[in-house]
Chain A
């Protein structure tokens, strides 16, 4: 158990809909990351937050947004969903967010868009 909790574990929704994925980081970790794992793109970095502030952005679509709340949990919002958004979405956390520090991953949310 990494200490990172993601909910829900599975999500099935229709095209055009909006969903919210939730992540609770390990106790004491200030930084949260979101990754997308799909068969065709592999593991892609989406976005990083540190202590409530956006720190870095990767290949995140404009239809997607995220935030980190004062209690440090994070949410990833996916809107106007398309079939191609079906993927495993991972949240990770680390203590500082500095390069080279260990990131602990949650078990992921499997999103299926039908």
Chain B
């Protein structure tokens, strides 16, 4: 079946540090891949997405590249800010269903200190 595995959190960083949150997936074919972010007390917001192999999604300084050979979609940011503290979810949408059904990872909490 389809599944997403994320690194366990929390990830604790100092401001301006480099961020990597690992995400790997299991799926047949060519799923679409997403990163969502959840700030405290809020719903999920789409951070970035990639719909085919080698695509790079980017937004607000965050990047992730769709690597089919390693079935990965790791999230990176060169310099984190305190305001980036949130829970980050990696997700996939199966490619052959004809409809949107997101399969989420367990989420990784990021804590950035000044």
| A interface residues, Cβ below 8 angstroms from B | 2, 4, 31, 33, 35, 42-43, 45, 48, 50, 55-56, 58, 90, 92, 94, 97-108
Contacts and interface: CB of A to CB of B under 8 A. Distances in A.
B43 A31 contact: no
A55 B94 CA distance: 15
A111 to B, nearest CB: 15
What 7 A-B pairs come out closest when comparing CB atoms?
A100-B32, A105-B43, A43-B104, A105-B44, A107-B43, A99-B93, A100-B51
B43 A100 contact: no
A48 to B, nearest CB: 6
Interface string B54-97: 00000000000000000000000000000000000100011101
B114 interface: no
Interface residues of B, number: 25
B96 to A, nearest CB: 8
A56 B99 contact: yes
B48 to A, nearest CB: 10
Interface in B23-70: 32, 36, 41-46, 49, 51
Nearest to B106: A42
Given A42-B105, A43-B107, A45-B102, 7 more contacts: A33-B102, A48-B100, A55-B99, A99-B99, A100-B95, A102-B49, A103-B100
A94 B93 CA distance: 13
B44 A45 contact: no
A97 B102 CA distance: 11
A72 to B, nearest CB: 16
A56 B43 contact: no
Given A2-B45, A100-B51, A50 B93 contact: no
A98 B98 contact: yes
